[in-house]
Structure 1
Amino acid sequence: MLLYVHVPFCRRKCRYCAFYSVPLPPVGTRGFSVSRYVSALCAELALWGGRLGRVPVESVFFGGGTPSLLEPEQLGVVLDGVRRTFAVAPDAEISMEANPDSLHTPERARGYLDAGVNRISLGVQSLNDGMLTALGRLHRADAARTAFRAIREAGCRNLSLDLMWGLPGQTLDLWREDVRVALELGPDHISAYGLTLEPGTPLAEACGEDALPPEDVQCSMYLEGIRLFGEAGLRQYEISNYAREGFRCRHNLGYWEGREYLGLGPAATSTLGGERWTNPEGPEWLAQVAEGRTCSDREALDKETRTLECMMLRLRTVEGLPLEAYERLAGRPFTDDHGRFARRLCEAGLARLDNGRFRLTPEGMLVSNSILGDLFEEA
């Protein structure tokens, strides 16, 4: 099983972000405070331990929000609870997302490593001050570089950077420069996401789609990223992810391979035992845990849903969809259901169907949302 822990606190919400987060409350706050959150998280862990037993856990991922706003000691308390509750593999990957404004000294980074974290994903987003201002990020490029070096100095041997492309006002040359500066730091892994303007976010309301780079420029940014990362030894393994040999994110690979996962914390989603559910937010989550309840609003995942999701997730990876995995879930060969559609994509240079796998080409990954939407409509 994969374990995801949602840490909802942020110093300030970024202008593009649609994930659930709340402002970091002052110390001593009586409402939804960090200390109440940590206590409730440990109680939720104990609740699930009583229901699931000591199930094996192969990875733990602290996402957010900004997990690096938790003190190392607080994160250590949670990880100790995880180890007491579940059978955590000796070589488990334990990841933590971090921001440069809250993790920028070797001492603080060493505290997280001592608590058990062995992989850190640093949310840089850009190494251009103008782009960072447009995104509403608190840090600047120099601070991002300082944070990266501090984490390395602390002894982190598995360090990832998050970057974004397709930003308002960003040119292809500016994106190339972002990539160049990021690669100079020597990360083991890079996640590079194209900006999506989520409805209701300040950035979407302020600029709109017309402010983004033209579609042909965005295409060039994506393909140029694949080339530049690859030349530096970071091979693409998923639509937006690149890694040196041995540094693929095992937790996220588990999602894309359709493994079961338990989500803890407010607004965290779980897919377990043929069902999916999402925890309530903030105070409702606190009340749910205090009453010893788990989320009651659950979706049963039937065979058709699981088969479609298997396709959607596997096609995000460069290895693509194993045809035997599809047939095992659906009870029918992939080509019986989607042969004509797959051939059209192959003829257009957007996919390949060979060696027992159906996979998207780089050009297909660029328009994967459209392709996957068409697959769901066809089904």
Structure 2
Amino acid sequence: MSTRATLYVHAPFCRAKCQYCAFYSLAAGPSGPQPHSLSRYLDALDAEMDRQAERYGPVSAPSLFFGGGTPSLLGGEALARVMVGLRRRFDLAPDAEITLEANPDSASPSFLRTARELGVNRLSLGVQSLDDAALKTLGRTHDAAQARLAFAHARAAGFANIGLDLIFGLPGQSAAAWLDTLRQALALEPEHLSCYGLTVEPGTPLAENADALAACPDEDSQAEMFLRGSELLAAAGFEHYEISNFARVSAGQDLRCRHNVSCWRGEDVLGFGPAAVSTMTESGFAPALRWANPQSLEEWVELVHSGQSGQAGREALSPEVRAREGLMLALRSAEGLSLDAYARSAGRELRETHAGLLVQLSAVGLATLDGERLRLTRAGMLVSNSVIRALGFEDEINNYS
């Protein structure tokens, strides 16, 4: 039986570094990555795919996700090379969901047509806001008009599954302004919306911008945005299937992002590129293995060509750690946590060890216990980190919040 895992490719290039972004990326300038840098990246990607194909064989992949960075900056020729390399080495399912993240200013009609012809069937468009002043504050390199135009180009290229990424809790933003942004987004008729509360990460330019920080909405205002925004999207026919993610409900179609759902279920993922994280279960080796590629293009290229791909930060995950992570990830999703499955994997029964807490969470409307499945309510999702801490898993919160 072949190994099964979702595939992830990290494209590290961006035109400019956004004010809030803590993900690994390289500011390549308005024209995108230089030919030399792109060539070195692609050569190392080929070598890394070879290494992992030798180790795991033709991995059976139900989904593939291009993240970053800005994958749409790779260009059609480079994307074609990566897709050919992946298909040659791994077993992408015939109905695999293939997602590509794109920014509006690099999602040209020609690139989108090429991506669609190569088999990309889901587009995640980094809109973030439809207010030009807010986009400027965030350091985005597009405006609202470009975002709408990119969406139209994606439809014209044949994309029937488009997601929009949006951020709420922006400096100076009111709940009314956030709801107006959502209404504008809904008018485009996307299949998916990812709505993230602004997080000020240490070391980012935003963290050093005192004026912007002072203008950020307080916790109560952000909570109002989350709750009212979730209600608006539910009324518009969207399923709130994870804290920050909403998929349009369509008869006979599951429009949730398969890659993300797989990650929240704790399934294996095989990642490529700088900063990519992998978790793989190997035959004959009980603990799952996890490793993280260096957050540096140069260090990653050197590691790959030294034959050490997949070795940096490699660790074996005990069943207890996997169970803890599974609990934390499950409580972020609408599917919730199977208490029976957790008891089998962790060796302890939450209905016994945390009986009082479960009753209390239900009594105050933060969670529901339906049979043996624990789910957070919409209000509970607001305080999910606190709930998980109360269940005794401080370590995992710090890694995934």
TM-score (norm 1): 0.95
Letter in 1 for 2:272: L
Check if 1:78 corresponds to 2:86.
no
- How far apart, in 1, do the equivalents of 2:179 and 2:122 lie? 26
Deviates more, 1:298-307 or 1:169-178: 298-307
- How far apart, in 1, do the equivalents of 2:312 and 2:293 lie? 9
- How far apart, in 1, do the equivalents of 2:32 and 2:105 lie? 18
1:137-176 superposed matches below 5 A? 137-176=140-179
Do the aligned partners of residues 318 and 54 (structure 1) sit closer, same or farther apart at CA in structure 2, a change above 3 Å counting?
same
- How far apart, in 2, do the equivalents of 1:204 and 1:300 lie? 34
Aligned partners of 1:104 and 1:148 also within 8 Å:
no
What number of residue pairs does the alignment pair up?
377
Could you tell me how far 1:263 is from its partner in structure 2?
Answer: 1.1
Letter in 1 for 2:385: N
1:60-99 superposed matches below 5 A? 60-99=64-103
The equivalent of 2:270 in structure 1 is 262
- How far apart, in 1, do the equivalents of 2:87 and 2:47 lie? 14
The equivalent of 1:292 in structure 2 is 307
The equivalent of 1:115 in structure 2 is 118
Letter in 1 for 2:264: W
Do the aligned partners of residues 28 and 333 (structure 1) sit closer, same or farther apart at CA in structure 2, a change above 3 Å counting?
closer
- How far apart, in 2, do the equivalents of 1:37 and 1:121 lie? 22
Could you tell me how far 1:334 is from its partner in structure 2?
Answer: 2.6
Do the aligned partners of residues 378 and 9 (structure 1) sit closer, same or farther apart at CA in structure 2, a change above 3 Å counting?
closer
Aligned partners of 1:165 and 1:192 also within 8 Å:
yes
Letter in 2 for 1:14: C
Task: Give the one of 167, 179, 191 matched to 2:182.
Answer: 179
Partner SS, residue 81 of structure 1: helix
Letter in 2 for 1:271: T
Do the aligned partners of residues 141 and 50 (structure 1) sit closer, same or farther apart at CA in structure 2, a change above 3 Å counting?
same
Task: Give the one of 324, 346, 352 matched to 1:336.
Answer: 352
Residues 40-69 of structure 1: CA deviation (Å, up to 9, x unaligned): 111111110011111211111000000000
Deviates more, 1:119-128 or 1:107-116: 107-116
1:1-379 superposed matches below 5 A? 1-24=5-28, 29=34, 33-105=37-109, 107-207=110-210, 209-245=213-249, 246-273=254-281, 274-280=288-294, 281-294=296-309, 295-377=311-393
Partner SS, residue 325 of structure 2: helix
Could you tell me how far 1:378 is from its partner in structure 2?
Answer: 7.5
- How far apart, in 1, do the equivalents of 2:78 and 2:33 lie? 15
Aligned partners of 1:10 and 1:66 also within 8 Å:
yes
Could you tell me how far 1:163 is from its partner in structure 2?
Answer: 0.5
Aligned partners of 1:9 and 1:67 also within 8 Å:
yes
Do the aligned partners of residues 73 and 312 (structure 1) sit closer, same or farther apart at CA in structure 2, a change above 3 Å counting?
same
Could you tell me how far 1:374 is from its partner in structure 2?
Answer: 2.9
Aligned partners of 1:73 and 1:115 also within 8 Å:
no
- How far apart, in 1, do the equivalents of 2:34 and 2:20 lie? 28
- CA RMSD for the aligned pairs? 1.7
Could you tell me how far 1:211 is from its partner in structure 2?
Answer: 2.7
Letter in 2 for 1:223: L
Letter in 2 for 1:56: S
Residues 85-143 of structure 1: CA deviation (Å, up to 9, x unaligned): 111111011000000010042x2211111111110000000001111111111101011
Letter in 2 for 1:276: R
TM-score (norm 2): 0.90
Letter in 2 for 1:147: A
Could you tell me how far 1:160 is from its partner in structure 2?
Answer: 0.4
Deviates more, 1:73-82 or 1:189-198: 73-82
Residues 275-320 of structure 1: CA deviation (Å, up to 9, x unaligned): 2110012111101111221224212211221111011000011121
- How far apart, in 1, do the equivalents of 2:386 and 2:77 lie? 44
Letter in 2 for 1:173: A
Aligned partners of 2:293 and 2:312 also within 8 Å:
no
Do the aligned partners of residues 119 and 30 (structure 1) sit closer, same or farther apart at CA in structure 2, a change above 3 Å counting?
closer
